[in-house]
Amino acid sequence: MDTHKGFHAAAVVTTTGALLDGRTFPTTREGYRLLLSWARSARMRWDTRTRTYVERRVTAGKTRREAIRCLKRYVAREIYQTIVTLRPASEQRSAS
């Protein structure tokens, strides 16, 4: 993920560096919602660990919808940590 003032650019890249998918999202509430939704669906499409996680949740008694909700929360925390980590130092100081 690459953070900019007006938008975030996110990509799904293989371990060999091949680009599978990439999108940009505005840095608005709606943009973050779209980024989260896209990241969740991309992980379900290409990440076997994610598919296994969802199936494990379903096997444990959750509905598929509840399992996806758990996945969305996990992805949201992951994206937030990435954005905070990549934020320029000057923005981090002014936000404190």
Domain boundaries, the chain: 2-89
Kindly state the tokens that stand for 33.
Answer: 């919602």
- DSSP output for 17-80: --EEEEEEEESSHHHHHHHHHHHHHHHHHH-HHHHHHHHHHHHTT--HHHHHHHHHHHHHHHHH
SS3 at position 81: helix
Both tokens assigned to 24: 């940009």
The per-residue pLDDT for 4 is 58
Mean pLDDT per 10-residue interval, the chain, length 96 residues:
70 80 88 86 86 93 92 84 72 54
Cβ contact 79:8 at 8 Å: no
Specify the pTM: 0.62
